[in-house]
Amino acid sequence: MNAREVDPRLLRAFVAVAEELHFTWAAARLYVAQQALSRDVRRLEQALDARLFVRTTRQVELTADGERLLPHARRVLRAHEDLAAAFGASARPLLVDLNSDGPGTARQVLDRARELAPDQELMARFESGLTHSAGEIAAGRLDVSFGRFGGLAPALRARLAHQPVRYEPLAVVLPEDHPLAARATVAVGALAGETVYAGAGNPRTLEWTDLARRLFAGRGTALAPPAPVAVGKEEFRRVMAKTGHPVLATVDFPDMPGCVRRPLTDPVPLSPLSMVWRRGFGHPGLTALRTAAAGLGAVRGWLDLPEGGWLPEGDAELMRSH
């Protein structure tokens, strides 16, 4: 075998190790045994007559040849993905994370994409938080997710692509007997002295907790300490009754028993929602999702900034620079 006959599987093994810089993690990412992964890397090195990694007991590093190969390997794998999507007997299902099973923006985009591409299988997933799902996308275990792209670590963002979808207005979910529940809207300043739950302690939703921290900074509102994540309406109702903490949400957050949802104002806080996928990834279902998001956004004004709207510092630039 020579460089012209390299099996894409060997390149896939190389790229996984190059990105993880850890053979065990790369093997888990590809769902293969570490021994098989090491064997594929050795075969690639033999085919190219080049050493690609320096391995010690503590770390794995790319050699100069490994650095030189990486962009070429990514292009080859991208071309194989495009070929499979365009000419496969049936394109594989596209795994689309909606974060939660509710009627929000991501669900609306998915429903419209299914109408635009009825021959494609777009499978919904519910991973609860872009921090987690973005890592799954980078590892190839998910294809698309939605969330605050600016809340991800720069190194992770560099491996992903995004399309702005909506400036989502934020709301607060309150127990029915809360003093603020009688209001039609709740000014951000009215939450001074309150303790608001925003997912603190949940490693899957770091971008959401960071959004809340930035919103309430200097306003006299505390973030609730870490707590078990309530899954399902009954558990949500029980936890709300037990703690009484308001919960930061979006205006499309589903109705919950024993609670009311009130839009936040003065200023109108916004969550910059993007659709996120792996850089260089192609699939007919992704094209349908991007078309659906752009079409719905244009009709419904999703990317129109309301007067007096608030965004985290740096997020507006990321959304505009797309």
**Which tens digits make up the pLDDT trace of 255-292?**
888 889 999 999 999 999 999 999 888 899 999 999 99
Cα–Cα distance for residue pair 113/296, rounded to 1 Å? 10
Token representation of residue 34: 């570490």
Q: What are the angstrom distances between the C-alpha of 229 and each of 58, 200, 226? A: 35, 10, 9
pLDDT the model gives residue 254: 81
Average pLDDT over residues 228-249: 72
Let me know whether 160 and 110 are in one domain: yes
The secondary structure element, H or E, covering residue 241 is helix 233-243
Q: Averaging pLDDT over each range in 138-142, 238-242, 292-296, which range is the top one?
A: 292-296
pTM across the whole model: 0.72
Let me know whether 177 and 258 are in one domain: yes
- Domain endpoint, select from 230, 250, 269: 269
Average pLDDT over residues 290-307: 94
Let me know whether 64 and 190 are in one domain: no
Let me know whether 191 and 248 are in one domain: yes
Q: Parallel, antiparallel, or unpaired: how do β-strands 222-223 and 195-196 relate?
A: parallel
Least confident of 87-91, 124-128, 136-140, 141-145: 87-91
pLDDT the model gives residue 231: 63
Cα–Cα distance for residue pair 133/314, rounded to 1 Å? 22
CA 164 from chain center: how many Å?
12
Let me know whether 210 and 221 are in one domain: yes
DSSP-assigned states of every residue in 102-167: SSSHHHHHHHHHHHH-TTS-EEEE--S-HHHHHHHHHTTS--EEEE-GGGS-HHHHTTEEEEEEEE
* Number of domains forming the structure of the chain: 3
Confidence of residue 167 (pLDDT cuts 50, 70, 90): very high
Higher pLDDT, 3 or 53: 53
Query: Shortest CA distance to 161 belongs to which of 145, 141, 176, 174?
Result: 145
Looking at residue 185, what DSSP letter applies? S
Least confident of 10-14, 87-91, 172-176, 270-274: 87-91
Looking at residue 281, what DSSP letter applies? -
pLDDT the model gives residue 88: 54
Looking at residue 197, what DSSP letter applies? B
Let me know whether 160 and 277 are in one domain: yes
Let me know whether 222 and 277 are in one domain: no
pLDDT the model gives residue 13: 93
Query: Shortest CA distance to 264 belongs to which of 218, 199, 308?
Result: 308
Let me know whether 154 and 280 are in one domain: yes
Query: Shortest CA distance to 107 belongs to which of 284, 292, 235, 300?
Result: 292
Q: At what angle do helices 34-48 and 8-20 cross, to 10 degrees?
A: 110
Beta strands in the chain (DSSP E): 53-55, 60-62, 94-97, 122-125, 144-147, 160-175, 186-187, 195-196, 222-223, 247-250, 259-265, 268-278, 309-310
pLDDT the model gives residue 57: 75
- Domain endpoint, select from 87, 117, 141: 87
Let me know whether 65 and 182 are in one domain: no
pLDDT the model gives residue 233: 62
The pLDDT tens digits of the residues spanning 67-115 come to 999 999 998 988 887 776 666 534 689 999 998 777 789 999 999 999 9
Let me know whether 100 and 23 are in one domain: no
Higher pLDDT, 139 or 243: 139
Confidence of residue 318 (pLDDT cuts 50, 70, 90): confident
Q: Is the pLDDT of residue 5 over 80?
A: no
Domain membership of residue 211 as a residue range: 170-269
Residues 123 and 94: beta-carbon distance below 8 Å: yes
Cα–Cα distance for residue pair 218/192, rounded to 1 Å? 10
pLDDT the model gives residue 89: 38
Q: Is the pLDDT of residue 18 over 70?
A: yes
What are the backbone dihedrals phi and psi of residue 50, each rounded to the nearest 5 degrees, phi first? Answer: -150, 145
Cα–Cα distance for residue pair 318/308, rounded to 1 Å? 19
pLDDT the model gives residue 322: 61
Q: Is the pLDDT of residue 305 over 60?
A: yes
Q: Parallel, antiparallel, or unpaired: how do β-strands 94-97 and 122-125 relate?
A: parallel
Let me know whether 115 and 190 are in one domain: no
- Domain endpoint, select from 87, 119, 135: 87
Average pLDDT, the chain: 88
Residues 318 and 149: beta-carbon distance below 8 Å: yes
Q: What is the C-alpha end-to-end distance of the chain, expressed in Å?
A: 42
Give the CATH number of the domain where residue 73 resides: 1.10.10.10
Give the CATH number of the domain where residue 242 resides: 3.40.190.10
pLDDT the model gives residue 81: 75
Let me know whether 183 and 265 are in one domain: yes
